[in-house]
Structure 1
Amino acid sequence: MTVIEIPLRWGDMDAYGHINNVQIVRLMEEARVIVFGIPSGTGHRDGTNPKAHIDLRAGADDGVMTLIADHTVKYRRQLPYRGLPVRVEVGIEKVKGASVEIYYRFFDRDQVAVEATSTMVFVHQESGRPVRLTPRQRDALADL
């Protein structure tokens, strides 16, 4: 598990003063990029991934990209806008042949406000077919 903080924006707040449910999915994306790095095929081409805690592209062929196949979000309590960063725990729930299930926990102070998951699938960019995780990728995931 990795713990990060993500700044909240004024525009993330809805009319009730808490973070809008649509923005939670955007924050999930931001957390994935911070923890797992910039996805391939996005213009980041120098082979480095300086922000990633765990680079899931390491050991994968150049033609492999990651796609999100599924999200689940469970709201446990309101996440109020406080003008402070939100603490997020990010980790791996499951590792399968060609996919990983990522979990997120968003905290309001010390209480879990949102629990969520995303299924990230590794696919070959040209064929669109699933690509199995490499041993190097599995080793990187073992650290979470």
Structure 2
Amino acid sequence: MTLPVRWSDQDINHHVNNARVVALIEEARITAIMRWLGEEGTPDPARPRVVVSLSLDYLRPISHGPELTAQVWVTKVGHSSYTVAYELIQNGHVAARARTVLVQIDPATGRPVPLSPTIRTALKNIAVREAAEVTCA
């Protein structure tokens, strides 16, 4: 999927600010989850899924101008959580790699709850280990 990089996303060094990279990953994740899960993937305050862990490696600067694409895939599905991996690619090179762990929670208690069987099955069916195995276009 192609991600928009705005002129205003740049910092004084003329590359995308590190905080904006986190927002680009969020955009990629939401788009991918909605594609994978259909209506079940639409953000819903009645059944929130929250990010409980984020790791991000900045491998090279991302700049405004050249197309930025994201590869997004699921690497692990647990009882109430799943792990999503990302690669942001610009000019044919991986510029950033990230992983997030999302947990399904009960909005009243804030405690983890099991993923629905529909979501769990869909995520397990698309879970892969390597970015080259996934297309989210």
Q: Alignment RMSD, CA only?
A: 2.1
Distance 1:111 1:85 in 2: 11
Matched, 1:68 2:83: no
What's the CA shift for 1:114?
0.2
The structure where helix makes up a greater share of residues is 2
Alignment: residue pair count:
124
The answer for the alignment partner of 1:28 in structure 2 is 25
List per-residue Cα deviations over 1:95-140 (Å, max 9, x = no partner): 1111111111001221111001111110011121111112211221
2:95 match: 113
Q: Deviations for 1:42-96, whole angstroms, at most 9, x for unmatched residues?
A: xxxxxxxxxx21227739xx842111111111011112222x4410001112111
Give the 3 Å change call, closer, same or farther, for CA 96–135 of structure 1 in structure 2: same
Alignment TM-score, normalising by the size of structure 2: 0.81
Correspondence 1:1-144 to 2 at 5 A:
4-36=1-33, 52-55=34-37, 58=40, 63-82=46-65, 84-141=66-123, 142-144=125-127
TM-score, normalised to structure 1, is: 0.77
SS at match of 2:21: helix
Name the aligned partner's letter for residue 58 of structure 2: Y
Q: Share of identical aligned residues, percent?
A: 28
List alignment gaps of at least 5 residues for structure 1. 37-51
Q: Deviation above 6 Å: which 4+ runs of structure 1?
A: none
Task: For 2:39 and 2:101, locate their aligned partners in 1 and report how far apart those are by CA, in whole Å.
Answer: 16
